Amino acid sequence: MKKNLLLPFVALILIVASLFTLSACGTPTTTTEGSDITTTAPTGDTTDPTPSVGDGKVNVKFFKVGKANATLIRSGDLAILVDTGENDDDDANGKQDDGEKILEYLAEKGVTEIDYLIVSQFNKNHYGAVGTILEGVTVKNVIEPKYTKTGNAYDEYRAALAKANMTPEVVSEDKTITAAGLTVTIYPAKSTTSSADQDEYYSLVVSVESAGMDILIASDIFGARINEIIASLNGKKYDILQVPLHGAYNDKVESLIDAVAPKYAVVFASANNPADPRTLKLLSDKDITTFITMNGSVEGKFKNDVLTVKQ
């Protein structure tokens, strides 16, 4: 009986074809050397990607800007700047525009865009450096309170917006932004006033809630406005409270502290304009760790399920 010599040849062709098909599918190959198994990854960019939106990391920085306000919140690709400090550039006396300090920090962190620039009130120590920020980085949205002002600082602010072709959103009702794992709620004043203290009364309050670090930026609210905010928060507690009005004392500030029960407090103040000792004593008596920006910028970070706040 003759052997069919063609069969082994056909079988060999089928085996080779099968191996070629597996290789063409792009399946990673493995090689074994001793007890180690090495997987050959597909070629391409192997660098760490830019942090994605909602990556679970939240950062807040309260800038050292004297008796002024400037707070930056970052989560993933989202950046929110609440106030900008003053435009107090004075090279002769070694003073730097607060906006320049903020821009340097943004550059250091690789932040090229601000999603929301929130102007809490029309006092120059809150929005004086808006022009510097608009010239130095892309700003997608500007949010402001519903009232107007007169004076050079206000005129310069309006001119800076016009130059940047920005139309601000005027907030007259509670506004919530949900992005990058954050729920940001902006609380405007609920009623009007003709008081001379309209900056403080109309100050926007910003609540930032995340999975691991909740922040209340109280700007410069006082008196009846504090009662209004306490009612709006409806029992919500916070990890960090920016103490309003640079640590000034009034009969309502203790109510706010008790209502939000913070673990940490931050006071924007300077050596020339220090916080009221009575307010600092309130915080101390309640065992709240307190940072004053005259001693340096304050940074909070939530990462890997751990909250840290340092100066």
The tens digit of pLDDT for each residue in 83-141 reads 999 997 655 455 689 999 999 999 999 999 999 999 999 999 999 999 999 999 999 99
Q: Is residue 76 part of a domain?
A: yes
Q: Is residue 150 part of a domain?
A: yes
- Summarize pLDDT for 281-309 with one digit per residue, the tens: 999 999 999 999 999 999 999 998 999 99
Q: Provide the pLDDT confidence category of residue 34 given band limits of 50, 70 and 90.
A: very low
Q: What is the pLDDT of residue 89?
A: 64
The mean pLDDT value of the chain amounts to 85
In Å, how far are 43, 49, 50, 243 from 46, measured between CA atoms?
A: 8, 8, 12, 44
Q: Is residue 3 part of a domain?
A: no
Does 151 score more than 70 pLDDT? yes
* Residue 273 one-letter amino acid: N
Q: What is the pLDDT of residue 194?
A: 75
Question: How far apart (Å, rounded) are the C-alpha atoms in residues 74 and 60?
Answer: 6
Q: How many domains does the chain contain in total?
A: 1
Q: Is residue 35 part of a domain?
A: no
Q: Is residue 286 part of a domain?
A: yes
Question: How far apart (Å, rounded) are the C-alpha atoms in residues 16 and 21?
Answer: 9
Q: Is residue 88 part of a domain?
A: yes
Q: Is residue 31 part of a domain?
A: no
Single pTM value for the model? 0.82
Of the listed ranges 47-56, 82-91, 226-235, 256-265, the one predicted with least confidence = 47-56
The CB density around residue 33, as the number of other CB atoms within 10 Å, is 7
Does 204 score more than 70 pLDDT? yes
The CATH number covering residue 239 comes to 3.60.15.10
Domain of 233 in residue numbering reads as 58-304
Q: What is the pLDDT of residue 31?
A: 28
Average pLDDT over residues 185-214: 92
Q: Say how far residue 287 (Cα) sits from the centre of its chain.
A: 26
Q: Is residue 98 part of a domain?
A: yes
